[in-house]
Amino acid sequence: MTDRNTIPSGPPGDELKACCAAAYSSDVVALLLGDSYHPGGTALTRRLADGLSLAEGRRVLDVASGRGTTALLLADACRVRVDGVDYAPANTALAQGAAQAAGLGERAVFTTGDAEHLPYPEAVFDAVVCECALCTFPDKARAAAEFARVLKPGGRLGITDVTADPDRLPPELTGLAASIACVADARPLEEYAEILAAAGLRTLRTERHDQAMTRMIDQIEARLNLLRMTAAGRLAEAGVDLEAAPAVLAAARTAVADKTLGYALLIAEKAA
């Protein structure tokens, strides 16, 4: 039997990573999701940063850094040095360009890499952050072990992520497309904590932010309706199924209402 935290190595996991990378480097997806790419936006990122006890000059790793929104916020607001790593080369290039444009090129550096095989030595980061991405990783246990490996003793991990009861998800929220949308392979908050604990990361604090998920669903629906009128061709090129989208969004909204789907913040610590 395969551990539920792990998809066997090889094409299935690699295919999912490649699909996620392609989707999240798409301009159309950026239009649908907004700058932060995750529920709660920068306000929730700032709350996450507060739980990490960051001090000026500390070194932070942003895993699945996307176009750099979280990394640049931390580099600017907390005056830390941030390394961002993302599976999509296009995102890496865009994030580095954004860092240069913001005058943060010396404090924010981006690399293309795999969260399950982080390209950094052991115990180099004071903190690791991962926003709305652990839910998409095929091998969550391996990714958690990598978070722990690169953290210094006493370092903290900050996660915001989709939570789900996989056994209760409706058909509209399963399958490859739903995995890319951060839903199909999301786990209950307690299971994330268990995965981290197995990697040597003790959970210090958790918070539910399910209302942030509802707000994002509403925002996606509004943006999708606008793009349907102004850029239907671009949506089709990006693989957005306009016929299925209303049912998927409705199913997601219902799943949040009945606590099957949600969003959470988690702070964990590596033993000193």
CB < 8 Å & 24+ apart, contacts of 187-190: 187/135, 187/140, 187/163, 188/163, 188/164, 189/163, 189/262, 189/264, 189/266
Instruction: Please tell me whether the overall predicted TM-score, pTM, comes out greater than 0.85 for this model.
Output: yes
* Annotation: CATH topology of 13-270: Rossmann fold (3.40.50)
- Which residue, 271, 218, 263, is CA-closest to 45? 263
pLDDT band at 25 (very low <50, low <70, confident <90, very high): low
Instruction: Return the ∠ at Cα 179 (arms to 159 and 182), rounded to 5°.
Output: 30
The pLDDT value given to residue 67? 93
Encode pLDDT of 64-88 as tens digits.
999 999 999 999 999 999 999 999 9
Task: Assess contact for 264 and 209: CB atoms under 8 A.
Answer: yes
Which residue do the tokens 């830390």 mark?
Answer: 80
Q: Is the pLDDT of residue 137 over 70?
A: yes
Q: Amino acid identity of 8?
A: P
| SS3 assignment, position 110 | strand
Q: Is the pLDDT of residue 117 over 60?
A: yes
Helix (H) or strand (E) holding 12: helix 11-24
Question: Could you give phi then psi for residue 152, rounded to 5 degrees?
Answer: -70, 155
The pLDDT value given to residue 6? 42
- β-pairing, 125-131 with 81-86? unpaired
Q: Is the pLDDT of residue 172 over 90?
A: no
- β-pairing, 261-270 with 151-164? antiparallel
Structure token pair of residue 226: 């606008």
Percentage of residues of the chain with pLDDT beyond 90: 67
* Cα–Cα distance, 38 to 17 (Å, whole number): 18
Task: Assess contact for 208 and 264: CB atoms under 8 A.
Answer: yes
Tell me, what DSSP letter sits at residue 272?
-
b/e map 9-47, b = 16+ CB within 10 Å: eeeebeebbebbbbbbbbebbbbbbeebbbbbbeebbee
* Cα–Cα distance, 87 to 157 (Å, whole number): 20
pLDDT averaged over every residue in the chain: 88
Q: Where are the domains of the chain?
A: 13-270
